[in-house]
């Protein structure tokens, strides 16, 4: 009867019979088939395709990352050009007012060897001391902002008093407004950084950044210190109570930079040794 079937149906019947025979063969000999060898052969056959797909995926990711980097570089170049123009204008204004020019900060890299203090670290030991030119009173910063101030100097080590030391105080100003205040760390009723001595008439909002003030005799001006998280009235009702989150991640300090402190004016009549 197969001779009376059209060619297409004969081929379909033959293919169906072949599949049925293969299925029966697999049922009878499935336990004896070397699956490990088959998997290895399959891996060998498809390995080039896997590599092609992996290379294509990496090239696509690299292209996207390259595009993002180009956009970021462009934005930074535009911002740098704007800052250079603002710097030239600022210098002209300072010259016209007879004000001294800003000095660039020199950074001395150091390693943070140890942190001490609970629950927040209040001091840190640095890997540089008097032999490396570190002096008592120098500022210590990270790429994020101010860390503290050198309090003790030894031959090859030094100890920095962090912003979270209750005895530390930093004169700060609020960005774009010039509002002045003193940053202090308090432990009661909760441990936190507070910007104190800010009158109620001054406007300070959450999200504004703090920088070291030009009125400070201990720190160079313009170092980022932190960001305002809450502003309200202090319990006495006379000034504001402003909570601040430090810019530097103090509990995770690993590396930092020592910044020489401002040169203090000599007292009248000499006295250069004091």
**111-149 residue pLDDT tens:** 999 999 888 899 999 999 999 999 999 999 998 999 999
For residue 263, count other CB atoms closer than 10 A to its CB.
7
Q: Quick check: is 22 in a domain?
A: no
Residue 112 has a pLDDT of 95
246 plus 194 within the same structural domain: yes
Report the pLDDT averaged over residues 231-239. 83
- What pLDDT was estimated at residue 218? 81
CA distance 183 to 225: 9
Number of other residues whose CB lies within 10 A of the CB of residue 266: 11
User: Could you tell me if 195 and 228 are in contact, meaning their C-beta atoms sit under 8 angstroms apart?
Assistant: yes
pTM: 0.61
Q: Are residues 223 and 247 in the same domain?
A: yes
The answer to the question of residue 7 being in a domain is: no
Query: What would the two tokens of residue 116 be?
Result: 């001490």
- For the cut 50, the answer to whether the pLDDT of residue 274 exceeds it is no
Q: How many domains does the chain have?
A: 3
Lowest mean pLDDT among 67-71, 101-105, 227-231, 242-246: 101-105
In this predicted structure, what is the pLDDT of residue 82? 77
Closest CA to 149 of 122, 172, 118: 122
Please tell me which of 85-89, 102-106, 152-156, 266-270 the model is most confident about, judged by mean pLDDT. Answer: 152-156
Q: How far apart are CA 101 and CA 92, in angstroms?
A: 10
> Within 13 A of 180's CA, how many CA atoms are on the CB side?
6
Domain with residue 133: its CATH number is 2.40.10.340
Same domain, 148 and 186: no
Of residues 220 and 86, more confidence is placed in 220
Give the pLDDT confidence score for residue 257 in this predicted structure: 94
Q: How many CB atoms lie within 10 A of CB 184?
A: 19
Percent over 90 (pLDDT), the chain: 38
Domain that holds residue 113: 108-162
**How does the average pLDDT of the chain come out, rounded?**
81
Pair (187, 245) in one structural domain: yes
CATH number at residue 218: 2.40.10.350
Q: Identify which has the larger pLDDT, 271 or 198.
A: 198
pLDDT on residue 37: 64
Choosing from 101, 117, 136, the residue where a domain stops is 101
Q: Confidence class of residue 43 from pLDDT cuts 50, 70 and 90? A: low
Predicted pLDDT at 75: 82
Rounded average pLDDT over 160-175: 93
């Amino acid at each position: 009867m197969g001779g009376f079937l059209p060619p297409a149906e004969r081929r379909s019947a033959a293919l169906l019979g072949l599949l049925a025979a293969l299925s029966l063969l697999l049922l009878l000999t499935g336990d004896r088939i070397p699956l490990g060898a088959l998997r290895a052969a399959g891996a060998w056959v498809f390995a080039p395709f896997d590599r092609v797909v992996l290379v294509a995926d990496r090239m696509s990711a690299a292209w996207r990352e390259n595009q993002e980097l180009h956009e970021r570089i462009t934005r930074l170049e535009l911002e740098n050009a704007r800052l250079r123009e603002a710097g030239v204008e600022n210098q002209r204004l300072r010259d016209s007012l007879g004000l001294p020019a800003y000095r660039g900060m020199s950074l001395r890299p150091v390693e943070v060897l140890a942190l001490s203090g609970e629950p927040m670290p209040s001091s840190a030991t640095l890997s540089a001391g008097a032999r490396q030119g570190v002096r008592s009173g120098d500022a210590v910063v990270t790429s994020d902002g101010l860390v503290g101030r050198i309090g003790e100097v030894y031959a090859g080590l030094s100890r920095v008093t962090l912003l979270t030391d209750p005895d530390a105080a930093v004169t700060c100003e609020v960005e774009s407004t010039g509002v002045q205040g003193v940053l202090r760390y308090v432990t009661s009723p909760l441990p936190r950084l507070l910007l104190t001595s800010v009158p109620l008439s001054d406007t300070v909002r959450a999200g504004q950044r703090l920088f070291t003030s030009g009125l400070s005799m201990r720190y160079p001006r313009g170092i980022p210190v932190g960001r305002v998280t809450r502003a309200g009235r202090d319990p006495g009702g006379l000034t504001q109570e402003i909570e601040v989150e430090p810019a530097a991640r103090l509990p995770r300090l690993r590396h930092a930079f020592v910044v020489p402190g401002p040169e203090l004016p000599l007292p009248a009549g000499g006295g250069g040794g004091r």
